[in-house]
Amino acid sequence: MSEPVIELQGLQHRYDTDLVLRDVDLSIGEGEIFGFLGHNGAGKTTAMNILTTLLEPTGGTATICGYDVVTDRREVTRLIGYLPADVRMYGHMSAAENLEFLAKLSGVPDARAAARETLEYLGCADLAKRRVGTFSTGMRQRIGIAQAIVHRPHVLFLDEPTSGLDPMGVRQLRETVLQLNRDLGMTVFMNTHQLNEVSKVCTTIGVLNHGELIYNDSIEATMRRFPDEASLEDIYVRVGDLAS
Amino acid sequence: MSESTNRIMQVARHEYRAAVRSRALIILLAILVVATGFSVFIGATDYAAQLAEYDAYRAAAQAQGLTRIAPSPLAVLSLLRGAFEYLEIIGAIIAITLGYLSVSRERVSRTLPLLRSRPLTGTELAAGTFLGALAIFTTLIAATAVVGIVALGTIGNDWINPAQVLRLTLACVAALLYLSAFYCLGAIATAKAKMPANGLVIALGIWLLVVLVLPQIGDTLDADNQLPGGLFQALGLNHDGEIAVLTHFTGYEQVRTGIEEASLAKHFERFAFAMSDVKERYRPYGLPWLLNETRHDIGWLFAYAAVLFLGLRRTLTRQQPIPTGGNS
């Protein structure tokens, strides 16, 4: 595997008495598109919140490009882009203003140009001057991705990026992720339930079950390992059965 | 400009723009400026008549060859009393509302994770929002002062001199500290409350206590307020005589002063009234004496603003960008 960009060692998180992440060890290499799978409440969002520095783990360590997400927060936030599950932006501002503001906070020298170029790159330059508050779910998702990549991060975190999107939106998002990975060399970490999307986009997968990482391998190796299963959905069920 | 300063300035600019887009805030600001303008207009009209009378007396005295002419008893800056009182009451509500809007906007729209997933620290966020609020207050106070000065000059026929401008500027600085403290109070209460609106209610409760209840208790207990025009003036005592009398009531005065010291509004009022000649007993003195006399008040104002800003910084630094409990 290539040099690890994301590394989790014995990662734990506890909400009061509820242990939602249990000693998770995970290593994701440069340029990979990683699909993080698991049932609702498995701990995927908690793991992503820790990796994006929004939450401090109660145990273990997590690093991005060698920087610790707790002690080197500033360096980590320069390296990552984040699209939350529920895309929220400043509704009273236009798409370009939202992007420009966030780019400035990330230290982008010419934030206005970066915002314009990002919108053009994602094919949504027509939305630049419109107020975000009036956008549909699909539009918000595209602007959400734009804000996540406006500072050209090294690693992109997407939390349930296809939720609420229509089939065209899902397809568009898939193409965008592949494009970002191919053109800009971004490593992508994606929480998702959409197994068919994972098989079309991801290079590696991990399965989280009640806070425990029960499976982690490349898509190719997974298909080889479970040759009798018809789809990734069958494999997912099988992995869950094996774990229990 | 360092990267950190740049981020602080961006947040400040963002805060300022968001605030001026708030309809509720604009309405409150308009009420304050209109109320101030009206108050100064009424005072200045009456002042113009009194000034004309004094000028007539002075001209007559000079015509008769008198060498000792009584100085004017009028104090043009004292006409701004209403402006300071409105700042003290309505201004504090505006400041609390601004603090509430600043925090609740991020909480309700859930945009805090967007900010905190950037290289922005809690201290930078607190400093940026505070600076943005300061910019709004500066605009508000400057607008109020300009309305007042122009009304005094055009309606009262008495343009203030550079020394008075300096004193007015100092009073405006005190107003800035006063409003900043209430801004921080509103923001802290909103950030700490489970529901943002509850924070607003708590902050307004504290406002009621600090701005209306405590000063009223302090005023009621003040010996000098027991007679119209002032007890000590009625007794023919000057400031030193007043102090000599009050040394016989130190315990009582300490309790009364303690109640007043607890009120941020009282410190602002004392300082602003001293600088703007509202209190007649301060009028004969120059700026150095006035500053020495009111040093505790400006000190308390500064201390309140600094402590509340540190509280805001601590609150925003510890604020969870995402609700605890998590989705998964």
Q: Which domain holds residue A44?
A: 4-86+159-243
* pLDDT at residue B325, as a whole number: 45
Mutate to test the interface with A, among B6, B118, B120, B129 (most CBs of A within 10 A): B118
| Among the partner residues B109, B111, B321, nearest to A54 by beta-carbon distance | B321
Please count the structural domains in chain A: 1
ipTM associated with this complex: 0.83
> pLDDT tier at B326 (50, 70, 90 boundaries)?
very low
**B178: distance to nearest CA of chain A, Å?**
30
Is A139 among the domain residues?
A: no
**HEC string of chain A?**
CCCEEEEEEEEEEEECCEEEEEEEEEEEECCCEEEEEECCCCCHHHHHHHHCCCCCCCEEEEEECCEECCCCHHHHHHHEEEECCCCCCCCCCEHHHHHHHHHHHCCCCCHHHHHHHHHHHCCCHHHCCCEHHHCCHHHHHHHHHHHHHCCCCCEEEEECCCCCCCHHHHHHHHHHHHHHHHHCCCEEEEECCCHHHHHHHCCEEEEEECCEEEEEEEHHHHHHHCCCCCCHHHHHHHHHHHHC
> pLDDT tier at A143 (50, 70, 90 boundaries)?
very high
* pLDDT tens per residue, range A76-97: 999 999 999 888 888 889 999 9
Residue B328 scores a pLDDT above 70: no
Torsion angle in degrees (nearest 10) through CA of B261, B267, B269, B275? 140
**A3: distance to nearest CA of chain B, Å?**
24
Name the CA radius of gyration of chain B, rounded: 23
Is A15 among the domain residues?
A: yes
Is A110 among the domain residues?
A: no
The residues pairing with A62 across neighbouring beta strands, listed in sequence order, are A8
Token pair for residue A71? Answer: 């002690």
Judged by CB atoms closer than 8 Å, whether chains meet at B111 and A78 is answered as no
Nearest residue on chain A to B317, judged by CA atoms?
A54
* pLDDT at residue B242, as a whole number: 83
Judged by CB atoms closer than 8 Å, whether chains meet at B109 and A105 is answered as no
| Among the partner residues B109, B118, B326, nearest to A90 by beta-carbon distance | B109
* pLDDT tens per residue, range A195-242: 878 888 999 999 998 899 999 999 888 888 887 776 777 787 877 777
Angle (CA) B184-B189-B194 rounded to 5° is 145
Mutate to test the interface with B, among A105, A131, A157 (most CBs of B within 10 A): A105
**B317: distance to nearest CA of chain A, Å?**
12
Is A143 among the domain residues?
A: no
CATH number of the domain residue A180 falls in: 3.40.50.300
Q: Which of the 8 DSSP states describes residue B280?
A: G
Q: Distance from CA of residue B226 to its chain's centroid?
A: 26
To the nearest whole number, what is the mean pLDDT of chain B? 87
* pLDDT tens per residue, range B261-315: 788 998 999 999 999 888 877 888 889 999 999 999 999 999 999 999 999 999 9
* pLDDT tens per residue, range A14-61: 988 889 999 999 999 999 999 999 888 889 999 999 999 999 999 999
The larger pLDDT score, comparing residue A124 to residue A238, is at A124
Judged by CB atoms closer than 8 Å, whether chains meet at B114 and A89 is answered as yes
Judged by CB atoms closer than 8 Å, whether chains meet at B10 and A91 is answered as no
**Using an 8 Å Cβ cutoff, are A79 and A64 in contact?**
yes
| Among the partner residues A40, A101, A104, nearest to B328 by beta-carbon distance | A40
Is A40 among the domain residues?
A: yes
Is A196 among the domain residues?
A: yes
The larger pLDDT score, comparing residue B137 to residue A234, is at B137
**Using an 8 Å Cβ cutoff, are A174 and A143 in contact?**
no
Give the number of A-B residue pairs with CB atoms closer than 8 Å.
Answer: 83
Q: Which of the 8 DSSP states describes residue B119?
A: S
Mean pLDDT confidence for A146-153:
94
Report helix angle B23-63 to B122-154, nearest 10.
Answer: 40
The larger pLDDT score, comparing residue B82 to residue B202, is at B202
The residues pairing with A218 across neighbouring beta strands, listed in sequence order, are A204
